[in-house]
Amino acid sequence: MTSKFAVAWLAAVVFIAAPAHGAAAKSGKRRTNRKPVPAPELVWYVETIQGDVVDARSQDLAINPASVVKIATSWWALETLGPDHRFTTRFAARGSIDPSHGLLKGDLIVHGDGDPDFQAENAFLVAQALNRIGVRRVTGMVVVDDTFWMGWENGSQGKNPDPVKRATQMAGRLRQALDVRRWSRATRQAWYEHATKNGTPRSPLPSVEVMGGARYEPSPAGGEMVLFEHRSKPLAETLRRFNAFSNNDIERVAASIGPASELSVLLADRLVPGTTPVLIQTASGLGENRLSPRQIVAMLRGFRTAAAERGVEIEHLLPVAGCDPGTVNASFPRLSSPPFATSLVAKTGTLTSTDGGITVLAGFLNTAQGEVVFCVAAPRAAGRIRLARRTEETFVVNLLNKRGGAAPRTCAPPLGSSAGDAAIVSASVASVGAAGAAGAAAHR
């Protein structure tokens, strides 16, 4: 680390940690026992885009990367599934349709495909599709298999360990979202926002009453008639949503590929060799995972290269500070505001107590002297998460200033909802498979 940069960084940290003496004086009370909270010590690794080391401190220390693991999961998914992959959820009738009375006499069957981001907005598309074919009431049940998920669970931390209870909960969520009489205030608001964003009339409201309740069947069968398919938005946009909000349900994406142990092996094969063994326990970053700052920088490079080979820019996969909503803007407001806005595309990581707590920021930083790739982390930050983030933010600001200031990058289009580019494909098109559906008309 250069001496000027070290002095500037240390001075900034001292300033952050200094107590507010003026505020204490105004209170009229003498504070004799309160000590200033020390800023956590940082570890970091910074390279130019050409691979030259800019600065480093404890770059081979094994740290818990927290949600920065989501970069590895995104890389894995891009290479395995491809950026244009769409998850296909098939809806079928186990019974008959009586459009003259608006009835599906029997059960509504849902064959999941591991869609990781099926939300109320997607259920609105399904209800509209059912209404279009004359169904406003299902006399039986909505039946799902174990690859249909809806709403959020917060990854393995919130997932019901009982697969039957979990799947039944998902079926219940779908039933609630289909039936306007069961809508919560939040669901109704989601419909209004969805209608406004997509130029859809607010009324009539899309609604299907499921009279028989919700149920899980491992392999639903029995004289089914395919009604239509719901095809998710492309994988690249789904990954961008998960990374922007650091959503732990990105574990669902990994579930379509393989166990976290395979991801661990993949990274061990591809990242820089060293004394730090790669350990990945979860695809979201929950729990105990291990990478070094140097390995995280190598991971960023590998991810970007894989994306470029598939025609996807990094700004379409990770959030840009000052452009996209989510954890980067919320956790690092200075970097998301002028004069630094749009110079950073990055992923955050935070664990409040696991491994003593940690915050991580890793990404690509545009400077006047060229782009750099970096990882900065504050281990053992439990109870000091906000201070740790401010310290990391100061580190990045000083890095920008040392390299002549920030240089802007181009933002990706505004982040859409889960249903933004999803489509309902008719039964006639669905029957020929996904390959033949590319040029077919789809109802949005």
Q: The dihedral of CA 120, 126, 128, 131: what is its sign?
A: negative
| pLDDT bucket at 257, cuts 50 / 70 / 90 | very high
Q: Tell me how many degrees the CA angle 91-94-98 measures, rounded to the nearest 5.
A: 95
pLDDT band per the 50, 70, 90 thresholds, residue 18 = very low
pLDDT of residue 223: 67
Calculate mean pLDDT across residues 406-427: 92
As a residue count, the chain comes to 444
Give the residue-averaged pLDDT of 400-406.
98
Is the pLDDT score of 268 beyond 60? yes
Predicted local confidence at residue 276, as pLDDT: 82
pLDDT at 130: 98
Helical pair 3-17 and 385-402, crossing angle rounded to 10 deg: 150
User: Using one digit for the tens of pLDDT, what is the confidence trace for 140-152?
Assistant: 999 999 999 999 9
Higher per-residue confidence, 8 vs 323: 323
How far apart, in Å, are the Cα atoms of 244 and each of 19, 240, 323, 385? 33, 6, 10, 19
**Band of pLDDT at residue 221, cut at 50, 70 and 90:** confident
Both tokens of residue 179?
């039936």
- Return the pLDDT at 438: 36
Most confident of 11-25, 212-226, 244-258: 244-258
Helix ranges (DSSP H) in 327-416: 327-331, 385-402
Contacts of 266 (CB under 8 A, 6+ apart): 72, 76
Helices 293-309/69-81 angle, 10° precision:
30
Q: Please say whether the beta carbons of 430 and 437 come within 8 A.
A: yes
Residue 90 has pLDDT above 80, yes or no: yes
Query: What is the chain's mean pLDDT, rounded?
Result: 90
Please say if the pLDDT value at position 443 is more than 90. no
* Count of other CB atoms within 10 angstroms of residue 287: 19
Kindly tell me if the per-residue pLDDT of 258 is higher than 70. yes
- What pLDDT, on the 0 to 100 scale, is given for residue 434? 40
Q: pLDDT at position 30, please? A: 55
Would you state the pLDDT for residue 35?
A: 79
Whether 302 and 268 have beta carbons less than 8 Å apart is answered as no
The confidence band for 272, taking pLDDT boundaries of 50, 70 and 90, is confident
12 pLDDT band, cuts 50/70/90, is very low
DSSP per position, 403-439: TTSB---PPPSPP--TTTT-EEEEHHHHTT-GGGGTT
pLDDT band with cut points at 50, 70 and 90 for residue 3:
very low
33 pLDDT higher than 70: no
Mean pLDDT for 118-142 is 97
List all residues 6 or more positions away from 436 whose beta carbon is below 8 Å from its beta carbon: 429
Which pLDDT tens digit goes with each residue over 37-67? 888 999 999 999 999 999 999 999 999 999 9
Report pTM. Answer: 0.88
Structure tokens at 303: 């991810």
Instruction: Say how far residue 258 (Cα) sits from the centre of its chain.
Output: 18
Q: d(Cα 103, Cα 159) in Å, to the nearest integer?
A: 34
Residue 335 has pLDDT above 50, yes or no: yes
Q: What is the pLDDT of residues 419-430, one digit of tens each?
A: 889 999 987 665
Which pLDDT score is estimated for 31?
A: 55
Neighbour count for residue 85 (Cβ, 10 Å): 18
Q: What pLDDT, on the 0 to 100 scale, is given for residue 256? A: 92
Tokens at 315, concatenated: 């700004």
Are 143 and 216 a contacting pair, CB within 8 Å?
yes
Fill in the DSSP letter of residue 333.
T
Cα angle: 420, vertex 209, 163; to 5 degrees: 70
For the chain, list the domains and their CATH numbers. 38-82+237-402 (3.40.710.10), 88-232+418-437 (3.50.80.20)
Which of these, 134, 50, 78, lies nearest to 371 by C-alpha position? 50
